[in-house]
Amino acid sequence: MRRTAGWRRHPAGADGAGAAPRDRARSALLRTGVPVALVLALVAGGTLTSRAAIDPNQVTRLTPQGLARGDQFGFSVALSGTTLAVGSPRDDDDAGRVTIFERGSGAWVEVATVLPQGGAPGSQFGYAVDLDGSTLAVGAARADGDRGAVYVFTRDSSGAWSQQARLGGVNPGDELGYAVALEGDTLAAGAPFAAGAGGAERGALTVYERSGGSWSEAASVLGLDTGPGDRFGNAASLSGSTLLVGAAHARQDGNASTGAAYVFVRGAGGWGQQAKLVDSQPAAFDKLGRAVALDGDVALVGVPHDDDVATDGGAALVFLRTGTSWAQQAKLAPGDLVSGAYFGRALVLSGTTALVGSPFATSGGSAQAGAAYTFTSSGGQWTQQARFAAAPPSASAEYGRSLALEGDTAVVGEPEVNGYRGAAHVYEATTAPPTTSPSTTSPSTTAPPTTAPPTTAPPTTAPPTTAPPTTGHPTTTAPPTTAPPTTAPPTTAPPTTAPPAGGPVVIDPEVRYTGGSSTVTGSIDCPTPSDYTLRVTLTQNGYRLSGRARGDCTGSASSFTVVVDGTMVAGPAQACATARLGQGPDPDRVCATVTVVTG
């Protein structure tokens, strides 16, 4: 549904920092073959009185039963009416789960836990979620050797959820389900790491349609000019017969990762591209399209690494459609924007209100605690309405990583608070005092539980949660369904305790940082020549970044190089590498202490 947005901080190289600062204002260009003059508006401050405002102080903080360190509850959120779905992709050894809450009599109550039939550790079910009425779509980006999968669940008249379909990925590493968008009987699922005819990581997006209770593939959507590394499908939003798709790493005028957003419309002949939204003055690593939202004829596009106000401060662009033509209406940025805030990394749109996340913003003196902002439109003018933050804010909690908005209710995910346990915050336009969600034993529609060991995560300074211990949810098993396979995006998790570097992967002891990115080198051993997929995370002072590379392993000590975008400082850091040889199901993970050298 168009009013939800989910994102990940470290999509294994799908995003990061590292843009060159610019002190010039930029206009935007709608590329449909003819340049269109656009208006650039920087929004800062102001209030709105034409509708009931969502109150930043009227908040319910939600945590589910059985919450454990490393679960990352709040990594994804979706809202439809009085129903809220919250993803925890790292729960139960990365098997993942989705928790359902319902609002009744003024309180939000946990009513169900949703699990996939045949779920497995490492699938990261709950990586992305979307909800429309009594239908729930859930991405499991790392399922089935990183092919990925999307699951569809429906709610019956008694309130019970059951699995209706599993849409599985095709090729290892495609990561179908990295993004999902649901409206009515239409479901869009992104696979930004799919190779296709355009080369590695060109990306792809599949549209599915439901007829009766069966889902089938209706179209494969791809931007007309996408190329290798564009990662088309990293974000998606549906509104009626219009689809908006992000390709945050698309090149423009030779600049890497400037980004783009593509508009498609459904006609008698299927889905066709209507427009491409890009920046007329491209800058490397702006990553326009990292988050997208669509409501009718209005599109909201995140540019989290925009430098116009502050380096990597970010921005959000508003585009308006008139007939079949799109033009930029405004450029949004909060009045307190600072460097490294990543404003626009998550966003959502509902009517005349936009909610934009800034997950690396400083709040209450806590670095990377995160924030979210509402903006409202009246007569074509956008005005900042309110700033939201956790109370109290916690360093590196990344509040604002996921968002949902409907009417006068907003939901903000905070997945890395309290030892990566996570939380979700619900804000409403009421005058009742803040509440804490009650914990209840709730029925769920799920597959049989797995027996994998629990996930572990690095210690943090956040206090332990006070959620009561889980009492377990009764589960029901959905009948198996078949559907075309799909792929899902990689997720990054907090570093875990791992054996010292050795075995098939060796990490060099020195990491060189320059120009907003770090270069990690090392070697891979393989018994026979094979291709490999390598993911690397760098953790320093609680700040975690990641990168990804693919290559060929020709035997003993084949060298590798992985570039990780983001800011680091000189000194010690932890580097972890996960390598998959060929299509092997069991990647090896090693961690080592490294020294970051600048210059």
Query: Do both 523 and 380 map to the same domain?
Result: no
Asked whether residue 592 is assigned to any structural domain, the reply reads: yes
Q: At 515, is the pLDDT very low, low, confident or very high (cuts 50, 70, 90)? A: low
The total domain count for the chain is 2
Distance CA 32, CA 323 (A): 13
Interval 45-68 mean pLDDT: 74
CA distances from 392 to 161, 365, 399 (A): 35, 10, 11
Helices (H), 12-170: 91-94, 143-146
Distance CA 205, CA 529 (A): 32
Of 176, 116, 170, 165, nearest to 142 by C-alpha is 176
Query: Do both 258 and 110 map to the same domain?
Result: yes
Q: What is the DSSP string of 103-125?
A: EETTEEEEEEEE--TT--TT--E
CATH code at position 136: 2.130.10.130
Asked whether residue 364 is assigned to any structural domain, the reply reads: yes
Side chain identity at residue 455, one-letter code: T
Q: pLDDT, tens digit, for every residue of 114-165?
A: 999 999 999 999 999 999 999 999 999 999 999 999 999 999 999 999 999 9
Query: Do both 307 and 407 map to the same domain?
Result: yes
Helix (H) or strand (E) segment spanning residue 408:
none
Name beta bridge partners: 409: 406, 428
Asked whether residue 520 is assigned to any structural domain, the reply reads: yes
Choose the weakest-confidence range: 66-75, 216-225, 548-557. 548-557
CATH code at position 590: 2.60.40.10
Distance CA 313, CA 358 (A): 9
Query: Do both 93 and 192 map to the same domain?
Result: yes
Contacts of 497 (CB under 8 A, 6+ apart): 456, 591
Asked whether residue 466 is assigned to any structural domain, the reply reads: no
How much is the mean pLDDT over the chain?
A: 80
- Tell me, rounded to whole angstroms, the distance of Cα 92 from its chain centroid: 20
Q: pLDDT, tens digit, for every residue of 18-38?
A: 333 333 333 333 333 322 222
Any idea what the Cα angle at residue 317 is, between residues 313 and 322, rounded to 5°?
175
Kindly tell me if the per-residue pLDDT of 11 is higher than 80. Answer: no
Which pLDDT score is estimated for 581?
A: 65
Distance CA 498, CA 574 (A): 11
Which pLDDT score is estimated for 542?
A: 59
Residue environment code for 427-448, b if the CB has 16+ CB neighbours within 10 A, otherwise e: bbeeeeeeeebebeebbbbbbe
Asked whether residue 205 is assigned to any structural domain, the reply reads: yes
Which pLDDT score is estimated for 564?
A: 82
Kindly tell me if the per-residue pLDDT of 348 is higher than 80. Answer: yes
Any idea what the Cα angle at residue 70 is, between residues 411 and 426, rounded to 5°?
10
Query: Do both 344 and 241 map to the same domain?
Result: yes
Q: pLDDT, tens digit, for every residue of 289-324?
A: 999 999 999 999 999 999 999 999 999 999 999 999
Contacts of 527 (CB under 8 A, 6+ apart): none
Q: pLDDT, tens digit, for every residue of 429-439?
A: 855 444 444 43
Which pLDDT score is estimated for 569?
A: 87
Contacts of 102 (CB under 8 A, 6+ apart): 82, 83, 84, 108, 109, 111
Of 492, 458, 501, nearest to 590 by C-alpha is 501
Q: Which two tokens stand for residue 395?
A: 């360093």
Name beta bridge partners: 183: 186
Final residue belonging to a domain, choices 436, 467, 483 = 436
Distance CA 372, CA 314 (A): 13
Distance CA 441, CA 474 (A): 9
Name beta bridge partners: 102: 83, 109
Final residue belonging to a domain, choices 436, 461, 479 = 436
Q: Which domain holds residue 592?
A: 505-598
Query: Do both 511 and 432 map to the same domain?
Result: no
Query: Do both 509 and 424 map to the same domain?
Result: no
Q: What is the DSSP string of 50-61?
A: SSPPPPTT-EEE
Which pLDDT score is estimated for 550?
A: 67
- Tell me, rounded to whole angstroms, the distance of Cα 363 from its chain centroid: 21
CA distances from 310 to 34, 142, 388, 410, 550 (A): 31, 34, 20, 27, 33
Asked whether residue 465 is assigned to any structural domain, the reply reads: no
Q: At 198, is the pLDDT very low, low, confident or very high (cuts 50, 70, 90)? A: low
Of 419, 426, 424, 425, nearest to 395 by C-alpha is 419
Yes or no: say if 384 and 373 are a contact pair by the CB < 8 Å rule: yes
Query: Do both 360 and 509 map to the same domain?
Result: no
Q: pLDDT, tens digit, for every residue of 231-254?
A: 999 999 999 999 999 999 999 888
Q: Give the three-class secondary structure for 417.
A: helix
This prediction has a pTM of 0.71
Of 78, 303, 319, nearest to 181 by C-alpha is 78
Distance CA 394, CA 449 (A): 33
Kindly tell me if the per-residue pLDDT of 390 is higher than 80. Answer: yes
Side chain identity at residue 571, one-letter code: G
Distance CA 475, CA 119 (A): 14
Q: pLDDT, tens digit, for every residue of 458-499?
A: 333 333 333 333 333 433 333 433 334 333 333 333 333 333
End-to-end CA distance of the chain: 46
Query: Do both 579 and 432 map to the same domain?
Result: no
Query: Do both 237 and 338 map to the same domain?
Result: yes
Final residue belonging to a domain, choices 380, 412, 436 = 436
Q: What is the DSSP string of 477-509?
A: PPPP-----B------------PBSBTTEEE-S
Query: Do both 273 and 400 map to the same domain?
Result: yes
Output Rg (C-alpha) for the chain, integer angstroms.
22
Which pLDDT score is estimated for 500?
A: 34
Residue environment code for 288-310, b if the CB has 16+ CB neighbours within 10 A, otherwise e: bbbbbbbbeebbbbbbbbbbbbb
Which pLDDT score is estimated for 197?
A: 66
Q: Give the three-class secondary structure for 34.
A: coil
Kindly tell me if the per-residue pLDDT of 419 is higher than 70. Answer: yes
Which pLDDT score is estimated for 456?
A: 34
Of 549, 546, 565, nearest to 10 by C-alpha is 546
Query: Do both 214 and 340 map to the same domain?
Result: yes
Distance CA 593, CA 572 (A): 7
Other Cβ atoms closer than 10 A to 145: 20
Q: At 562, is the pLDDT very low, low, confident or very high (cuts 50, 70, 90)? A: confident
Distance CA 516, CA 533 (A): 23
